[in-house]
Amino acid sequence: MHEIFIQMTEYFKSMGVIGLALNSFIESFFLVPPPDILLIIMDLANPKKAIFYAFICTIASAFGGMVGYAIGYWGGRPVFNWLFRKGGKEKFEAVETLYNKYGTCAVFLAAFTPIPYKVFTIASGILNMNFWQFSLASIFGRGIRFFIVSIVLMLFGATIKQYLEIIIIITTIIIIAFYVIIYKKRHSFIK
């Protein structure tokens, strides 16, 4: 599987910006390599265009998320189970639990973190989540993720590349803590 992902990344890379957009778009609803890999390669090759590349990733990924939403909305659980044959039922139940507890924030976190975003895009359609809230959460989550990667690489170059995953994890922890604090304050205020 790893070899296939490498070949796919090379194929997308050979198409330049169009490949970056296609990779970002398709990854939002189907199993292809995460666009971060190609984004990092392109950012390091041309740091002056890093912000542009992050923008392309964000827009293409958000549109791909909308396609994933439509797949879930029109295809339902049978399509979800077919796409995610291994552990599909458990994945769906986990997503449903997160939706019931956190709503739109669950989509935002899936869009931002290394959690498989495609699982959430398709499940959002099945669960009939508000489309506009889903879209905004996707745009913000994906945008923050891709812009952090591009800005960090633009400023620090290849020397920081090995720390990108740690930076994203730390940022994720901060965002989760922020949402938990807001959630608890909101519920304590209601009581």
What pLDDT, in 10s, does the model give residues 61-99?
999 999 999 999 999 999 998 988 888 788 889 889 988
Which of 13-17, 43-47, 162-166, 178-182 has maximum average pLDDT? 13-17
CA distance 27 to 9: 12
CA distance 96 to 127: 8
Q: Which residue has the tokens 């669960």?
A: 127
- For residue 36, the tally of other CB atoms under 10 A from its CB is 20
| Range 90-111 average pLDDT | 88
Of all residues in the chain, what percent carry a pLDDT higher than 70?
93
User: What is the value of pTM for the model shown?
Assistant: 0.85
Inter-CA distances, 21 with 64, 67, 114, 135, 151, Å: 10, 14, 19, 17, 18
Q: Assign 3-state DSSP to the chain and report helix, strand, coil percentages, each to 5.
A: 85, 0, 15
Question: What's the pLDDT band for 122 if we cut at 50, 70, 90?
Answer: very high
Of all residues in the chain, what percent carry a pLDDT higher than 90?
56
Question: What's the pLDDT band for 11 if we cut at 50, 70, 90?
Answer: very high
* The pLDDT of residue 191 is above 60: no
Question: What's the pLDDT band for 139 if we cut at 50, 70, 90?
Answer: very high
Per-residue confidence (pLDDT) for residue 187, from 0 to 100 = 61
Cα–Cα–Cα angle for 119, 135, 88, rounded to 5 degrees = 10
